[in-house]
Amino acid sequence: MKRLTKRNLSAAESGGTGDNARDTAELSMRHRHLVSGSGFTLAAIDDMIGRGSRAVWERLRDALAADRSLGEKILRVCDAKIADPYEQRYYFWKYHVEHLDA
């Protein structure tokens, strides 16, 4: 069990893990299929939704707000995963994209 310290407590309150190296890596995380200059690939979107932290999701949300055509790719990824009822992250993103203008 991880010992509770002031650093861990403040990190938990801010949404971090308490491990500064890990938090920094997550914020600057380059997903393995994201090629600079080519936009978001389907594999990169899948990685971001399936494995990303809140900071990564915020980056995806901001990219979607800037380029609504990204929503089509997100829906394609979500539709492929949504058959599994335990893939709640994909349900969330599908709902978010479908209700973006509502």
Question: Environment class of residue 4 by beta-carbon count within 10 Å: exposed (0-12), middle (13-18) or buried (19+)?
Answer: exposed
Instruction: Kindly compute the dihedral angle of the four CA atoms of residues 32, 37, 39, 43, in this order, to the nearest 10 degrees.
Output: -20
pLDDT in tens, the chain (102 residues): 445 444 543 444 444 455 544 544 444 445 555 555 557 889 999 999 999 999 999 999 999 999 999 999 999 999 999 999 999 999 999 999 999 886
CA angle 52, 97, 23 (to 5 degrees): 20
Question: What pLDDT score does 39 carry?
Answer: 78
Contact 63, 70 (CB under 8 A): yes
